[in-house]
């Protein structure tokens, strides 16, 4: 058999696994099809280590760290909460977006960028560009999670490109991400979607495309469409992201939106001993784009270099980490990083008054091709730094 026909069979098999029998099917106005799948039949439970799980639909975190976001006064600052396209799946089911063959092929290629087993000198690994604030490597600090309030943007991406904003929690070979993105090959249109990304020692994927993230809500897809997009000079529409490790179960919970809805979790057992089975040692916030290496990279954020000004730039506000004692703190001991400063930049605004708190802006017109230049960390803000 040729490798292409073997790959074809593999993809067909994968599609059968992903597209589960539906209790109810919902079509969105943008052409997405969501299947309301029985909680126990969702793709996460295809993971070999989750065969004998005891998870259930009504699960909620046993403990919630204090969230500090204060949205009072936000409207006066031109900041509003974005809403998502909610779905009406029956109780006991979860909304899983139906995947086409083309979308699956594109998603596999994009996920390879993060594959731990990929050779860093292969082409795939070199279309990913970042403009981020990040905690320091090797600081010895451990984290039980982190959060942000991110502006919602709609940069232009075409073909197999994507452009978005994210928070990433990492330890060793494992990381988890949540954020928003425009990704026409993954979603077959140009709307801004939420996304989650799961990377373990064994696999890496978006949303439900590899067994990992367990959804517990019947109305909130993990890849929901965001209804409101920020405009200059306002309003800025934001969505909240909060990832934290439950001290009792070790599950990594994801809370989303203005009310910090517990949408689902990553089970501890899918991660490795030197990874997220325990606490994280690295957190980052900011912009991320991907393009095949020979195609000029897409715009990031508002498609312009950051000023910095919350009303004119894409931003991450109220950036937090959760320490070893499960206290929520303003992100500290951080640096900024942009691998292609000619095309994308990041501005750390330090500590601002409420509702921004610890904030940064990022963006750029794009146009990078080929290999990433490993840019230096050019700024450093510690917790004691106070910038009004």
pLDDT in tens, 210-235: 889 999 999 999 999 999 999 999 89
pTM of the model: 0.91
**According to the model, what pLDDT value does residue 4 have?**
79
- Specify the pLDDT at position 377: 37
Q: pLDDT band for position 168 (50/70/90)?
A: very high
Q: pLDDT tier at 115 (50, 70, 90 boundaries)?
A: low
Closest CA to 346 of 299, 285, 283: 285
Is the pLDDT at 374 greater than 90, yes or no? no
What values do phi and psi take at 52, rounded to 5? -110, 40
| Number of separate helices (H) and strands (E) present in the chain | 3, 21
Task: Give the whole-angstrom CA distance, residue 386 versus residue 155.
Answer: 31
Q: Residue 383: what pLDDT?
A: 32
The b-or-e profile of 28-63 (16+ CB within 10 A means b, else e) is beeebebbbbebebbbbbbbeebeeeebeeebebee
Each residue of 305-328: pLDDT tens digit? 999 999 999 999 999 999 999 999
Confidence of residue 41 (pLDDT cuts 50, 70, 90): very high
The answer to whether 267 and 170 have CB atoms below 8 angstroms apart is no
68 pLDDT tier (thresholds 50, 70, 90) = low
255-304: per-residue pLDDT in tens?
A: 999 999 999 999 999 999 889 999 999 999 999 999 988 899 999 999 99
Residue given tokens 């006991």 in the structure block = 92
Report d(CA 308, CA 312) in Å as an integer: 8
CA distance 96 to 217: 11
Each residue of 128-150: pLDDT tens digit?
Answer: 999 999 999 888 999 999 999 99
Say if residue 170 is exposed, middle or buried (CB neighbours under 10 Å; 0-12, 13-18, 19+).
buried
Six-digit token pair at 372?
Answer: 């990433």
pLDDT at 122 over 50: no
């Amino acid at each position: 058999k040729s490798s292409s026909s073997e790959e074809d069979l593999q993809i067909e098999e994968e599609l059968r696994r992903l597209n589960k029998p539906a209790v109810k099917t919902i079509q969105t106005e943008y052409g997405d099809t969501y299947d309301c799948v029985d909680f126990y039949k969702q793709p996460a439970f295809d993971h070999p280590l989750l065969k004998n799980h005891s998870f259930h639909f009504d699960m909620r975190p046993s403990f919630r760290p204090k969230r500090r976001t204060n949205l009072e006064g936000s409207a006066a600052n031109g900041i509003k909460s974005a809403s998502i396209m909610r779905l009406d799946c029956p109780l006991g089911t979860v909304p899983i977006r139906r995947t086409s063959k083309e979308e699956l092929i594109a998603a596999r290629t994009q996920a390879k960028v993060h594959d731990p087993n990929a050779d860093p000198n292969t082409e795939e690994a070199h279309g990913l560009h970042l403009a981020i604030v990040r905690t320091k490597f090797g600081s010895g600090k451990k984290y039980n999670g982190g959060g942000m309030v991110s502006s919602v943007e709609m940069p232009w991406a075409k073909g197999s490109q994507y452009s978005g904003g994210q928070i990433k929690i990492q330890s060793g070979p494992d990381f988890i991400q949540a954020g928003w993105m425009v990704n026409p090959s993954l979603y077959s249109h140009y709307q801004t979607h939420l996304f989650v990304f799961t990377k373990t020692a064994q696999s890496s994927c978006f949303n439900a495309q590899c067994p990992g993230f367990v959804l517990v809500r019947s109305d909130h897809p993990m890849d929901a469409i965001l209804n409101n997009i920020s405009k200059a000079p306002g309003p800025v529409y934001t969505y909240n992201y909060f990832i934290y490790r439950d001290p009792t179960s070790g599950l990594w919970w994801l809370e989303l939106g203005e009310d910090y809805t517990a949408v689902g979790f990553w089970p501890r057992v899918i991660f490795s001993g030197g990874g997220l089975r325990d606490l994280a040692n690295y957190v980052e916030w900011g912009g991320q784009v991907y393009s095949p290496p020979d195609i000029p990279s897409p715009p990031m954020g508002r498609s312009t270099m950051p000023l910095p000004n919350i009303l004119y730039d894409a931003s991450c506000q109220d950036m937090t980490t959760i320490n070893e004692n499960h206290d929520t703190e303003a992100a500290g001991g951080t640096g900024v990083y942009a691998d292609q400063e000619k095309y994308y930049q990041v501005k750390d605004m330090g500590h601002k008054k409420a509702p921004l708190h610890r904030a940064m802006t990022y963006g750029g017109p794009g146009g990078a091709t080929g290999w990433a230049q490993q840019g230096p960390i050019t700024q450093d803000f510690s917790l004691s730094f106070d910038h009004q």
